[in-house]
Structure 1
Amino acid sequence: MVKITNLAGALALGASTASAQTFKTYTDDNGIEFWQSTFETSVGDGGAQFGLALPAAAQSGFEEEYIGHLVVPKGGDDGTWMGLSHMSGMTGSLLLLSWLDGDEIMTSFRYASGYTQPDIYNGNATLSKISQNINDTHFELTYRCENCWSWDHEGAAGDQIPATTSSAVQIIGWAQATQAPNSPSDADSDIKQHDDDGIFGAAVGSARNSAYTSWVSLATATSAPATATATPTGSTNGTGSAGPTATATPTAAACPSANTMANSTWDYIIVGAGAGGIPLADKLSEDGSSVLLIEKGPASSGRWGGTMRPEWLVGSNLTRFDVPGLDNQIWKDSEGIACEDYSVMAGCVLGGGTAVNAGLWWKANPEDFDYNFPEGWKSSDMQSAVDRTFERIPFTDHPSMDGIIYKPQGYNIVSGALAAAGWENVTADEVPGKKNHTFSRPNHMFSNGERGGPMATYLVSASERKNFQLITNTTVPRVIRDGSHITGVETEAFLDGGMCGEINVTPGTGKVILSAGAFGTPKILFRSGIGPQDQLEIVQKAEGSAMVGSSDWINLPVGHNLDDHTNTDIVITHPNVSFYDFYAAYNNPIKSDAESYLNDRTGILAQSAPNLSVLFWEEILGDDGIVRQMQYTARVEGGHGISSNQSMVISQYLGRGKTSRGRTVINGALDMTVSQVPYLNNEHDISAVAAGIESLKAALSKDPQIKIVFPAANTSTEDFLADYATTTGSRSANHWMGSCKMGPDSGLDNGTSVVDTDTKVYGTDNLFVVDASIFPGMVSTNPSALIVAVAEKASGLIADAKVEGNPNQVSASAPFPLGNSTSPQGTGMPSGTGLPYSTGVSLAPSAISSPSSKCTSDVTITRTRKASSQTARVSTQAVETAARPATSSAHSTFTMPADGFQPSNGTLPSATGTASTATGTAPVASGTAPTASSILPTATGALVEPWGRCGGKGYTGSKQCADGWVCKDFNPYYSQ
């Protein structure tokens, strides 16, 4: 996932580093001396200020408090709120919110475990007002904050107590909104999404003052420790939020009246429908085995019944997840999407990260497997899996259906400088091993102008089988264990329509596979009694008898080895950069852009936000003899206090070869947090980042019109990195992996691995893990395609694995799950898909039919591109048509209707077979937009409507197209 800073980093407090801040000593009218920062915010007129006063290091009894001075721009007619985090990020930290209610300044403490509406904090923080002032443009508050450097909210504890060393820095995060809380007079009020944010680091030594003990007497003791009710400053203390998010606090989802699967068993239960789980479900169901795929979140894509969409998509079968140009919206509005129980951003929707990320799709650098993975998983072992992945999901570097690159100036500018510096122009997925001084256009998984990916391919073919079933809105808190043997899973309704109760695997032979991601999978393992002793004790304290007994605990290093790309940004400007406001396009797109996309899947909205321009790579040899891989992602937007429409952010990702690792842990509230960040924990990683920044500066200097504006021109790379916070908010690329490491050295024997080379959890008979958490180390690129390839490989290993243990439980006839039309919502195929529930048919392997096809008008468009490493030119033109090589297997000749996409009648094709169908009505397509569900089966004997499916593996419907249309074969599965 591309992590965006400044406005785009809306949900991650601290995404912007302290670039536009200044510190100096300030003495207020009360005589209190502050070490004060002035920083720019895009809300209101004039800057904001935060001053910090701390007790002298020798003054005991005051370690967990401070005096603060806050000056906030009032914003426009809709008001504002300003939030402070007592650590850098929104999640896992005590938050302090302030806003105006008439002539009163309201304050409120809150706590956010994930990217959702923060809870009212119920710890013992206390705020006492010293003074307040309000004028036409700002409000000012001076206050004493006691018990604010450590916090404990319902068992979720943390702290950032100022160090006593002279060089210590206290990291503070801030966020500001363009709207006041929903009910300004209510200190418990919900808040709207913030619009700007950042962090700053205050020198602790400069903030300490021996006069502190006299200043605290100025505070009016008006508040008791924080409780569940918050009130204005000056009455009693507010417990409220400085958290930036618009997501409502979830209420408990209702369970169905009966568990319709209580008497069913499955050969495979897969937990998590993302880059790992979806391909696994497809592959494992190919031979007729019964497969249940459980997804915690709701449907995302319109193809599967998703409903989250802006107004201009209403009437189509598209949601915000289907349109590439809207993919960055998660950083602005994550309501109902972000996982609420993780301290970092993750997508809890069908598709997981592949539903919400920028769609970058990189064929694995062979070195990623050869360097990181154990025997049996080297590049030669993985080649066939990688090939199958890209057969199912080809890449594209021209996602608009007309083959045009829109607003190409960013690419031309940066690639021009790189080429002048001797870097080579490549198409990255055609030469995946060339990752040193090479640059490429973004390669995406997008297809047909839409998101595509696993949901549009693997999930489609899986859903056509009667032995497959998908459940959404359902969380799995733990697997059900009988010692080392897993008999099934427990389920809880995460959202209305989800399942509750136990679901079992086939006795003796069934298998459970966790594919819930680098945080979700460890959480399930912890709650299942699998992990380090300290984590299991935390769960036991929280859950009591619901947890497996300690005599059955399996001690493995779950949560250790956590990894992520280390992100370091620079910001440049160039007079030819042309900015496009993708955030504005979410609700108010330019009319012609919306029409082009809806009618033809063309234009800039078919490209990924925020105009990803060029990606480039280099390798750095460290003093420790390790080659470290760098990836750079350049995009057209502002960041780090730079809001120019002529700016670009270039993110450096330190990847393969990095040796810094972190850890994820569970707290008493059963939320997953990062206890140790995997960023720059050793001098060799730091040196590599510095060398990469110097190399980048040298390459960009080839174009004298490129100006590096962050860091400032007079800042050395050493000072820049020394001041750059190493927090998840400022350094995460959201490419989390490694927390359930795969390897031959069993954690049961003091080794480092959680799963063996068959992906089976050590100490268990039939529990497997297949997701990014098993990656031993960081890879060269964005990891989505590599995760799918690992799932391709793992599917064969899991299918062949023999289940040992509990042999007496094997039954002569394993019951097959029966579906019926009375199943509760969320237990069958998504509403509106027209696909059947599971039925009691025989488990015969699916027939292999001809390659998948669609009915198209017989108009052929062939694109070519010059294969060249010549210097890229700098251009100011708004649109560039790029030629493409006709011989590229990943970009073959394609067909499209002569008059663009044809209107749909708004109904889905009838499902084949006799199974009862899912309830619900399919979304109706309007205008000339194709329905995203058009790849679903057509009933045998019916005419296939324009752009409908007319063949392919597992297809048994009609191949007769409507008048004027012909059936074209594209690949063995479906057409693009």
Structure 2
Amino acid sequence: MLSRVLLLFGFALSAAAASAATMYEYIIVGSGSGGGPLAANLARAGHSVLLLEAGDDQGDNVNMSMILNFNLAGNDPTTRWDFFYEHMTWRTKDGGFYVGTSPPAGAKQLGIYYPRAGTLGGCAMHNAGVSALPQDSDWNYIARITGDDSWKAENMRKHLIKLENAEYAPGSNDHGHSGYLTITQTPVVLANGSDDRTFVQIMADATGAGRVSLDQLVTRDMNANDPNRDTSTGIFGTLRHSDSQGRRTGTNTYIRATVRDPAKYPLTIQLYSLVTKILFSNSSTTPTALGVEYLQGPSLYSADPRYNASAKGKVGQAIASREVIIAGGVFNSPQILKLSGIGPAEELKKFSIPVVVDLPGVGTRMADNYETSIIRLGSRDLHNVGGPYAVMLKSSVANNTRDLYLFCGALSFEGYWPGFPKDYGHSEYECAIVHIGPHSQAGTVLLRSSDPRDMPEINSHFFDKNADTDLTAILDGVKWARNAFDRVPKGLGPWKEVHPCPSPNTNCTDVEQKEFIRLQAYSHHATSTCQIGGDNDKMAVLDSKFRVRGVKNLRVVDGSAFPKVPGAFPVLPTFMLSEKATESILADIK
């Protein structure tokens, strides 16, 4: 067997490619927050695992390893995979990008920018690290539609406790303290005279918590084991999967720790390996996954900005004695399934792909949270400001649970485009707004061709259904933040609003603001393209144990498995999903 350490750092790859006949118990495709921890967990349970990753290992790249560098991480060409939705960004004749609605002559429309991370550790290596639990109702929904009570919120918390090292909650029995995922709270500067103190006090007054100490508010646990948590509003501390020094923890660190452990767990990491299809045996009445075929070489996927179409890669195969597990993420997992003959039959026939199983739900019902922001510029530069804090709210159209997550601070984040974000200087202050539980779930991931190196066609179909309900909720968040901003003392104010009501047009109508939100809403939390569902749901791709319907020895374990977006940020729920899958897989062996 090849040296696992050499493979981790990308060496000896040609030897790995030559070992096409090597057999492992499990083959896992993709090293993100679903596949990466699962691979480590199964290896630590004594099972031989091959983890295939299309990118390389950038764990020592400070853009990736330091959580506050997430904007740099999102723009780093060594890890970036450039996906695009249906409009807004253009490729110019000279190979650059134009962002806007009046592109230069000859520019090619690409879409709304949606960067993903093609590297060991997946998108958990370039996100902002926000680690928030979903509402209990999100877990309970899965239990209800599948009839599997192990998904109930009361049963899912054990997975959080197992995986986390909650440094911010020492001694709490409701949190874990020995897991691989270190979680800390972002500090907020509350010294007398700091602008952060001024803003937090204003936000506290606006939420009716002005008599509670500010230190208590900015350290409130948004992941508390509290039956009233999902209905509680106000200020909370922001949680991130990083240690006290700001170093990113999670996928990459856990994979590396497993490979380097003196126990010599049987985990093999093979980098630069783009999986092209799943191999099946048809010796029985039910197709059975036997392994995968892949192309080996750097930058073989067209989303990679370093992609060279003339570089074909070397074909290799790997065999699994137990299972193949796909964890390529919301865009690539459905693409791999479809390229392997699992998906809507008519779409597969269009590209002359033999149909293994007609599963119409593959690549459909994609969901995503809507995000927008209100940005204002003060009358002077801000002083003594730290990281953002969270404000949880209920909109006027919310049901019982809160449906708005705001993170407010001296920052500028307006979405994604090549080179984001725009810097407005030292007077900028923003509340970014995430709408939890959008009412439209109509996105699609469709094949562009049968070439596995081609990106699929991705269409979010934002606001296709119940648009005014969602727009009203988001606008409620904007108005709340604006009213709070207006309370700042003279000197710091008056404000100049950048958007959605650019100064001096401070009286723009609700219709105008909703149109701005509709056109400029962004996202980075897509899920649900390979959904778990009940036996009576013809669009369900997976059962409650992550098993792909209609075949044997094949599962999908990543954010594509969620029936709907879990809460405001899906990364922590996906880590928990991985623990849930570990439990299901090991139980099947017994």
- TM class by smaller structure: 0.7 to 0.9
1:11-39 CA distance string (max 9 Å, x none)? xxxxxxxxxxxxxxxxxxxxxxxxxxxxx
Aligned mate of 1:327, from 52, 67, 70: 70
Paired AA for residue 788 in structure 1: F
Change (3 A) 1:785 1:384: same
Question: Is 1:694 paired with 2:479?
Answer: yes
How far residue 320 of structure 1 moved from its aligned partner, in angstroms, is 2.3
How far residue 638 of structure 1 moved from its aligned partner, in angstroms, is 4.3
Asked whether the equivalents of residues 285 and 462 of structure 1 are also in contact (C-alpha less than 8 Å), the reply is no
Asked whether the equivalents of residues 439 and 465 of structure 2 are also in contact (C-alpha less than 8 Å), the reply is no
Change (3 A) 1:325 1:405: farther
Aligned mate of 1:492, from 274, 277, 295: 295
How far residue 533 of structure 1 moved from its aligned partner, in angstroms, is 2.8
Question: Is 1:520 paired with 2:332?
Answer: yes
Partner of 1:428: 222
Partner of 1:613: 388
Asked whether the equivalents of residues 231 and 401 of structure 2 are also in contact (C-alpha less than 8 Å), the reply is no
Distance in 2 (alpha carbons) for counterparts of 1:741 and 1:452: 27
Paired AA for residue 739 in structure 1: T
SS in 2 for 1:756: coil
For residues 54-203 of structure 1, what are the structure 2 equivalents within 5 Å?
none
How far residue 356 of structure 1 moved from its aligned partner, in angstroms, is 0.9
SS in 2 for 1:339: strand
Q: How well do the aligned residues superpose, as a CA RMSD in angstroms? A: 3.3
Asked whether the equivalents of residues 410 and 613 of structure 1 are also in contact (C-alpha less than 8 Å), the reply is no
| Runs (5+) with no aligned partner, structure 2 | 1-11, 86-113, 165-175, 210-216, 301-312, 415-421
Partner of 2:428: 647
Distance in 1 (alpha carbons) for counterparts of 2:483 and 2:57: 46
Partner of 1:468: 267
Distance in 1 (alpha carbons) for counterparts of 2:84 and 2:297: 15
Partner of 1:719: 512
For residues 933-948 of structure 1, what are the structure 2 equivalents within 5 Å?
none
Paired AA for residue 17 in structure 2: N
Question: Is 1:369 paired with 2:139?
Answer: yes
Distance in 1 (alpha carbons) for counterparts of 2:480 and 2:83: 39
SS in 2 for 1:394: strand
Paired AA for residue 374 in structure 2: I
How far residue 271 of structure 1 moved from its aligned partner, in angstroms, is 0.5
How far residue 794 of structure 1 moved from its aligned partner, in angstroms, is 1.1
Question: Is 1:736 paired with 2:526?
Answer: yes
Partner of 1:10: none
Change (3 A) 1:266 1:642: closer
How far residue 793 of structure 1 moved from its aligned partner, in angstroms, is 1.0
How far residue 744 of structure 1 moved from its aligned partner, in angstroms, is 1.1
Question: Is 1:442 paired with 2:238?
Answer: yes
How far residue 767 of structure 1 moved from its aligned partner, in angstroms, is 0.7
Q: What TM-score do you get using the length of structure 1 for normalisation?
A: 0.46
Aligned mate of 2:48, from 282, 290, 297: 290
Aligned mate of 1:556, from 331, 354, 360: 360
1:540-577 CA distance string (max 9 Å, x none)? 3xxxxxx4x23x34323111121111012111233465
Question: Is 1:674 paired with 2:458?
Answer: yes
Aligned mate of 1:784, from 562, 566, 571: 571
Change (3 A) 1:499 1:320: farther
How far residue 325 of structure 1 moved from its aligned partner, in angstroms, is 3.2
Change (3 A) 1:340 1:269: same
Change (3 A) 1:775 1:459: farther
1:183-203 CA distance string (max 9 Å, x none)? xxxxxxxxxxxxxxxxxxxxx
Distance in 1 (alpha carbons) for counterparts of 2:49 and 2:413: 45
Distance in 2 (alpha carbons) for counterparts of 1:271 and 1:679: 32
Distance in 2 (alpha carbons) for counterparts of 1:423 and 1:764: 54
Aligned mate of 2:183, from 395, 401, 404: 395
Distance in 2 (alpha carbons) for counterparts of 1:786 and 1:371: 14
Asked whether the equivalents of residues 292 and 317 of structure 2 are also in contact (C-alpha less than 8 Å), the reply is yes
Paired AA for residue 327 in structure 2: S
How far residue 337 of structure 1 moved from its aligned partner, in angstroms, is 1.3
SS in 2 for 1:681: coil
How far residue 405 of structure 1 moved from its aligned partner, in angstroms, is 8.4
Distance in 1 (alpha carbons) for counterparts of 2:589 and 2:46: 18
Asked whether the equivalents of residues 256 and 500 of structure 1 are also in contact (C-alpha less than 8 Å), the reply is no
SS in 1 for 2:116: coil
For residues 236-275 of structure 1, what are the structure 2 equivalents within 5 Å?
256=14, 259-275=17-33
Paired AA for residue 155 in structure 2: D
SS in 1 for 2:151: coil
Distance in 2 (alpha carbons) for counterparts of 1:579 and 1:443: 23
Change (3 A) 1:774 1:363: same
SS in 2 for 1:429: coil
For residues 921-932 of structure 1, what are the structure 2 equivalents within 5 Å?
none
How far residue 471 of structure 1 moved from its aligned partner, in angstroms, is 1.0
Partner of 1:897: none
Distance in 1 (alpha carbons) for counterparts of 2:367 and 2:400: 17
How far residue 613 of structure 1 moved from its aligned partner, in angstroms, is 1.4
Distance in 2 (alpha carbons) for counterparts of 1:408 and 1:257: 62
How far residue 406 of structure 1 moved from its aligned partner, in angstroms, is 11
SS in 2 for 1:321: helix
Question: Is 1:338 paired with 2:80?
Answer: yes
Change (3 A) 1:579 1:539: farther
Q: Which has the higher contact order (CA 8 A, sep 6+)?
A: 2
Change (3 A) 1:386 1:519: same
Aligned mate of 1:349, from 114, 119, 129: 119
Partner of 1:299: 57
1:96-126 CA distance string (max 9 Å, x none)? xxxxxxxxxxxxxxxxxxxxxxxxxxxxxxx
Q: What TM-score do you get using the length of structure 2 for normalisation?
A: 0.74
Asked whether the equivalents of residues 271 and 516 of structure 1 are also in contact (C-alpha less than 8 Å), the reply is yes
Change (3 A) 1:736 1:259: same
Distance in 2 (alpha carbons) for counterparts of 1:495 and 1:339: 13
Asked whether the equivalents of residues 527 and 539 of structure 1 are also in contact (C-alpha less than 8 Å), the reply is no
Asked whether the equivalents of residues 21 and 317 of structure 2 are also in contact (C-alpha less than 8 Å), the reply is no
1:817-868 CA distance string (max 9 Å, x none)? xxxxxxxxxxxxxxxxxxxxxxxxxxxxxxxxxxxxxxxxxxxxxxxxxxxx
Partner of 2:588: 801
Partner of 1:452: 249
Distance in 1 (alpha carbons) for counterparts of 2:142 and 2:196: 31
SS in 2 for 1:568: strand
How far residue 487 of structure 1 moved from its aligned partner, in angstroms, is 0.5
How far residue 439 of structure 1 moved from its aligned partner, in angstroms, is 1.5
How far residue 297 of structure 1 moved from its aligned partner, in angstroms, is 0.7
Question: Is 1:416 paired with 2:201?
Answer: yes
How far residue 515 of structure 1 moved from its aligned partner, in angstroms, is 0.9
1:422-456 CA distance string (max 9 Å, x none)? 35522323467255422123211111511122322
Distance in 1 (alpha carbons) for counterparts of 2:83 and 2:141: 33
Partner of 2:319: 504
Distance in 1 (alpha carbons) for counterparts of 2:435 and 2:16: 50
How far residue 537 of structure 1 moved from its aligned partner, in angstroms, is 3.1
SS in 2 for 1:477: strand
How far residue 757 of structure 1 moved from its aligned partner, in angstroms, is 0.2
SS in 1 for 2:394: strand
Distance in 2 (alpha carbons) for counterparts of 1:743 and 1:410: 48
1:758-778 CA distance string (max 9 Å, x none)? 000111111101111111112
Aligned mate of 1:753, from 540, 555, 563: 540
Distance in 2 (alpha carbons) for counterparts of 1:677 and 1:406: 45
Identity, in percent, stands at 19
Asked whether the equivalents of residues 577 and 636 of structure 1 are also in contact (C-alpha less than 8 Å), the reply is no
How far residue 378 of structure 1 moved from its aligned partner, in angstroms, is 1.6
How far residue 258 of structure 1 moved from its aligned partner, in angstroms, is 7.4
Change (3 A) 1:573 1:482: same
Asked whether the equivalents of residues 265 and 503 of structure 1 are also in contact (C-alpha less than 8 Å), the reply is yes
Asked whether the equivalents of residues 627 and 657 of structure 1 are also in contact (C-alpha less than 8 Å), the reply is no
Asked whether the equivalents of residues 28 and 51 of structure 2 are also in contact (C-alpha less than 8 Å), the reply is yes
Distance in 1 (alpha carbons) for counterparts of 2:123 and 2:161: 21
How far residue 800 of structure 1 moved from its aligned partner, in angstroms, is 2.3
Query: For the pair shown, which has the larger CA radius of gyration, 1 or 2?
Result: 1
